[in-house]
Amino acid sequence: MLIERLGRVDYEPTFEAMRAYTESRQGQSADRLWLCEHPPVFTQGLAGQAQHVLAPGEIPVVQSNRGGQVTYHGPGQVVAYPLLDLRRAGYYVKEYVYRIEEAVIRTLSHLGVTGHRVAGSPGIYVRLDAPGSHAALTGPRPADEPFRGLGKIAALGIKVSRHCTYHGLALNVAMDLQPYSRINPCGYAGLQSIDLSTIGIHITWDEAAHLLGSKLSASLAP
């Protein structure tokens, strides 16, 4: 997998570039991992509902073809786009999602933070009261408050075309989190979004990108 650092790039041209690369791939086309950050933008998934965009203000809302609902991208967030041939990798979409989440969990663990999955809600969450605690979440989550005590630190939204992936995930490092209050993140009213700096982990964007990139490369290997 070729890891490419794109720096800060606009969302729409990047979306079009990864879609074009995916649609033009041949059997021996290289797998790539693009690491970047975007200027402020809200993106809607294919099933995105307008009522989850509460007050975008001056931040543009862009329709995409990934799965999921609305999310936010902005400076201080590492966005990772794996462009991967799943047939060549030898696993299916469900395992692909698991491996992406596992790479985020391992990235956080390296930093002393415990990441958690919540059933039915892709992405990675941390305990707000004790983000460094290694204690697992116990018991089922309350049906009416599945995110009680949790903050979302990494969002996931993917697209698979001809067995090849694009879009990906976003890890919040050191952001202005206020724009999340203008949406229902991932379609959940009241879901709190957090970043590493909020929970006391101070790391540069470059350091976080390098760490996440290495964990993704290892986790997504055939």
Output the pLDDT for position 146: 74
pLDDT of residue 144: 66
Which pLDDT does position 120 carry in this prediction?
A: 84
Instruction: Give the model's pLDDT for residue 79.
Output: 98
**Percent share of the chain, pLDDT over 70:** 97
Tell me what pLDDT residue 31 has.
Answer: 97
For residue 209 the two structure tokens come to 């990108």
pLDDT, averaged across the chain: 94
pLDDT, tens digit (0-9, with 9 covering 90-100), for 124-178: 999 999 998 877 776 666 666 778 889 999 999 999 999 999 999 999 999 999 9
User: CATH number for the 2-219 domain, one of 3.30.930.10, 3.40.50.300, 2.102.10.10, 3.10.129.10?
Assistant: 3.30.930.10
- Answer whether 220's CB lies under 8 Å from 80's CB: no
Structure confidence at residue 140 (pLDDT): 65
pLDDT for 132 equals 87
Strand 61-63 versus strand 41-44 pairing type: parallel
CB 83 within 8 A of CB 166: yes
Q: Which residues are catalytic?
A: 186
What pLDDT does residue 12 have?
A: 98
pLDDT value at position 138?
66
Angle (CA) 73-79-81 rounded to 5° is 125
Q: With a cut of 50, which residues of the chain have pLDDT below it?
A: none
Quote the pTM value: 0.95
90: enclosing H helix or E strand: none
Distance CA 73, CA 155 (A): 10
Task: Report the distance separating Cα 86 and Cα 145, nearest Å.
Answer: 35
